Structure 1
Amino acid sequence: MTKSEPAGGTTTGSGDIARSLELLWGTGERPSRGPKPGLTLDRIVATAVGIADAEGLDALSMRRLSTELGTGTMTLYRYVPGKAELLDLMLDRVQGEPLTMDASGVPDDWRTAIDVMAHTYRATLHAHPWLLKINQARTVLGPSALRGLELALTGLRGMGLTDPELISVIITVNSFVEGLARTENHAAEAARDTGLSDAAFWEGQHPYLERAMLSGDYPRMAALSEDAFGPGFDHFAFGLARIVDGLGALVRQRAGQ
């Protein structure tokens, strides 16, 4: 493990920040000498994302990446200093995938903008589950990250909130989306790792739960309908609507002031 590769390689901004920024902003893409024909930074990052998508971050290493690219590991290091910097590039790449509109295409209604923001982020997390494994507390801000933030702020411009409050709106919505996506991802991982479906898992507990409900010790739980925990209820839509309702109350309050 090199100095720039933290254990697990799951913390953004943990490598050489200056080098990551050079690569993100296009000032240091080509190595000074000995490049392998056909090997580009874009191809390196795309291949790394493909490995992480298919097998998870644990499967991604500079050695594995160089093998996938058909080049030597030392050649790869001429393009990217290590896995920590590679992670910064991967994150910016997947953040840029859904950014197909310019500022003129952002919805004028902040409610619609939040709905688009939430659903877009959810789709990104489902397409790249490894994102949920990353500590992004210190994200290195590349072009995609800044453009995404610019579009989000453009969509929220009609709320009439202070700048810190607008940032908090984005944090609140993204945290909600991440929370549900993480739960969904954990459920999928459990089913895959155990070979036991959700239905089979809960069915195995049914006799014990039924006795517990009949004991009288859990009256509130026993009173719940059979579909209380069923798959038919859209928790994402319900939770997002309540967030928008709460923000709407604040917007109306500010408008009244």
Structure 2
Amino acid sequence: MSEHRTGGGDPAHTLRLLWRQTDGPRRGPRQGRSLDEIVTVAIELADTEGLESVTMRALAQAVGVAPMTLYTYVPGKAELLDLMLDLIYTNMERPDRSGEPWQTRVAAVAADNRSLFTAHPWAAEVATGRPPLGPGQMTKYEYELRAFDGTGLDDVTRDAALTYVLDFVRAAARSSAEARSAQQESAWTDEQWWTANAPLLAQVLDERRFPTAVRVGAAAGAAQNAAYNPDQAYEFGLARILDGLTTLITATLDGTAPT
């Protein structure tokens, strides 16, 4: 997967676009589309054809405007990418979970982000070291931080805990996307691939040379019906993350956590 990143455009211009701040009345012909409409079309294009397909020329064609007209809305793809992410963040559902245990709230945050990456697979490809600090991003951050209310974590640790969860979900989403891509490209299911290659694998995978790998691999493959099962990997990983956070939070509330 190619690497895309947020924060690649002019910061001041990008922030004004994200927060829909203008520099006053615009000169020239009246724009026929809103910025939200332009960004929505870009998201749809990325959802169906991938992020690489979202060029300014392709977007202009999809919107039905001349390429130069598109630049009156957004100066380039770097700023457009920030707008796209912020809009999908804005559209995430955020039910009130304030009365639920923190484990349930954190698991829900993970599930919400997994659903986001399922609906918009391209979003998992984007590096967000410089997050688009628009209204969608800030609302998402505010909501997700509150999943740790009542845990006793200080602000820095709360931010780190959330990052820990979100990084896991992003990695899981990318692995799942890679598995889907491999299956689509080969036109075989994992089960069909293993069945077709079983005779050769039986010859080269010597149990005497690789006793642990062969035994564990066979057991895992039989249990998952594949070498890799994205759903099982996600559920196992999330449970371990919650286990680790439980240890940290219990120690924090007991006053025994290291400082």
TM-score, normalising length: structure 1: 0.88
Shift in Å at residue 108 of structure 1? 4.2
Aligned residue number for residue 224 of structure 2: 231
Per-residue CA distance 1:145-193 (angstroms, 9 max, x = gap):
1111111111202111121111111111111111111111001112222
Q: Report the equivalent of 2:137.
A: 145
Find the counterpart in structure 1 of residue 120 from structure 2: 128
5+ residue gaps, structure 1, are 1-7
Question: What is the Cα-based RMSD across aligned positions, in Å?
Answer: 2.2
SS at match of 2:127: coil
Find the aligned partners of 1:246 and 1:206 in 2 and give their Cα distance. Answer: 38
The question of 1:220 aligning with 2:220 is answered no
Alignment partners' CA distance in 2, 1:84 and 1:197: 37
1:251 CA displacement? 1.4
Unaligned residue ranges in structure 2 (runs of 5+):
none
Stretch of structure 1 that moved more, 208-217 or 168-177: 208-217
Q: 2:61 — aligned with what? A: 67
Paired residues in the alignment total 248
1:198-231 deviation digits (Å, cap 9, x = unpaired):
2233334322322244441111123337441343
Aligned to 2:50: 56
CA distance in 2, matches of 1:168, 1:62: 36
Q: What is the percent sequence identity of the aligned residues?
A: 35
Q: Distance in 2 between matches of 1:44 and 1:224?
A: 50
The answer on 1:40 being equivalent to 2:34 is: yes
1:93 corresponding residue in structure 2: 87
Q: 1:171 aligned to 2:163?
A: yes
Paired residue secondary structure (1:26): coil
Which one of the candidate residues 15, 23, 37 is aligned to 1:21?
A: 15
Alignment map for 1:71-86 (pairs within 5 Å): 71-86=65-80
SS of match in other structure, 1:159: coil
Corresponding residue for residue 199 of structure 1: 191
Q: Which residue of 2 aligns with 1:112?
A: 104
Q: Please, what TM-score do these two structures have when normalized by structure 2?
A: 0.87
